[in-house]
Every structure is written in C-alpha cells, then in structure tokens.
Copies of this chain bind each other. A is one copy, B any other.
Amino acid sequence: MGCRRRRLYRLVRTGRDLFPRRSAAGGQNGRYVRAVDTRERLVEAMQDLLWERGYVGTSPRAVQERAGAGQGSMYHHFRGKADLAAAALERTARDLGGRTEEVLTGAGSPLERLTLNLTRERDVLRGCRVGRMTQDPEVVADDKLRAPVDEAFRWVRRMYADVLAEAVAAGELPDTIDPQQVAATLVAVVQGGYVLARASGNPADFALAVDGALSLLRGLAA
C-alpha cells in the first residue's frame, strides 16, 4: 500500500504513465514523434536539466523523475551521473553546432548570414545550453564533460571565422580585420549577452549587446 501511494506520487510529478506502452509512439518511417526508448528519455531529461540547473545542480533522481524512469533503468544504461551527462552534453553540443552551421552556410551574403545568426530567435533568459556548462566546476574539471563544450565552441568559432573571411573576400568588410579574432569577439558577445540579460532579467539587453557589435561591424563596412 505504501507502494501504491508512491506510484501515484510519481505519476503526478512526472506527468507520465509509469508503465508506458512501447507501441504508443515511435520513430518509424524516419519521422520523429517522441522519445519512446527509456535510454533516450533519460538523455533528453538530462539535457533539459543541465540547461536549467547545470551539472552540480542536477541529481540523478531528478533526471529519473523527469524521464519517467526508475533507478534501475538509469544505472542499467549508464554507469552513473557523469556518464549520462557526457552523453547528454555530446548531443546538445552537436545539435547546437548543427543549427549554427545551417544558418551560417545558408542563403544570403556573408554579412547577412552573420547578422541572421546573431539576431535569430533565442530563448535568451534561459541562457546558452553549451556556454552555461563552462561555469560548472565539475564540468570544467572533467575532461569527458568539458570536451564536447570545447569542441562546440571551436566549431562555431571556426564557422564564424570562415564567413568573416568570405565577407572580406566579397568586399563587405575591409581586409584589416582578423577573422579569427573578430569571430571570437562575436561569439563572446552572444555568450556575454546571455549574461547581461539574465542579470537584468531583460532579454532586450542581449539584443543591445548584439546590435552594438553589428553596428561596429557595419561602421567598418561603410
């Protein structure tokens, strides 16, 4: 009976059935519907919690509750918290790099693509899923956890630098700029923009910082 009460409690907290039918959803036909697999749900839950609360602020239990999975499942699929977090971080880093690449290699002139990526819709007050991790002492201290973060930033900075070099080649920017340097600056402005916005609680501060950077770039172009 204590058992019954506990099950009900978990049902309420997670909003999921404790015993989901496997056939309810699926990834068949290449169409992604929803996470069905327990392992998959665990990874996604960890991704969310890392974003919201960071690594030190996230407990295995919280992950399990959000995933609608029990202790046993988590420790069956992963060696522990760090292992699951590593899987989640790799996923997050890859997703973010992919989205940036999509915009930066899309249509438009180099400067247009940069502007598009800098001003694209963002969940500003929730911060950057990847950049956030650099503030976590246990992530930075563990190479397995820091590696995906490091690679994501290298990848994004590389893409920015390439587009900036294109802009110079196209005559949109003077050849006095150092693409690698300005790429670091632009990526930093985005990361710092999140910081300013979260400090004030106002997303407009993100936009202000980014617009300032763009005005400096355009000042050079003129």
Interface of A with B (CB < 8 Å)?
A: 52-54, 56-57, 127, 131-132, 134-138, 140, 146, 149-150, 152-154, 157, 174, 176-178, 180-196, 198-201, 205, 208-213, 215-217, 219-220
- CB of B201 within 8 A of CB of A184, answer no
Partner of A212, one of B149, B184, B194, B208: B184
Tell me how far the C-beta of A171 lies from the nearest C-beta in chain B, rounded to whole angstroms: 16
- CB of A185 within 8 A of CB of B201, answer no
A184: B residues at CB distance < 8 A: 193, 196, 205, 208-209, 212
- CB of B140 within 8 A of CB of A212, answer no
A103 to B174, CA, bound (A): 32
Q: Known: A176-B219, A188-B189, A195-B131. Contact between A200 and B154, CB under 8 A?
A: yes
19 contacts between A and B (CB under 8 A): A54-B137, A56-B57, A135-B135, A150-B199, A181-B208, A181-B209, A181-B211, A182-B212, A185-B189, A185-B213, A186-B212, A187-B196, A188-B189, A188-B193, A188-B209, A190-B192, A191-B192, A192-B193, A216-B217
- CB of B200 within 8 A of CB of A196, answer no
- Determine which residue in A150, A176, A180, A188 has the highest number of CB atoms from chain B within 10 A of its CB, and name it: A188
- Determine which residue in A127, A212, A219 has the highest number of CB atoms from chain B within 10 A of its CB, and name it: A212
- Determine which residue in A53, A150, A187 has the highest number of CB atoms from chain B within 10 A of its CB, and name it: A187
Partner of A219, one of B177, B192, B200, B211: B177
Q: Known: A53-B137, A199-B134, A216-B220. Contact between A208 and B192, CB under 8 A?
A: no
A193 to B183, CA, bound (A): 12
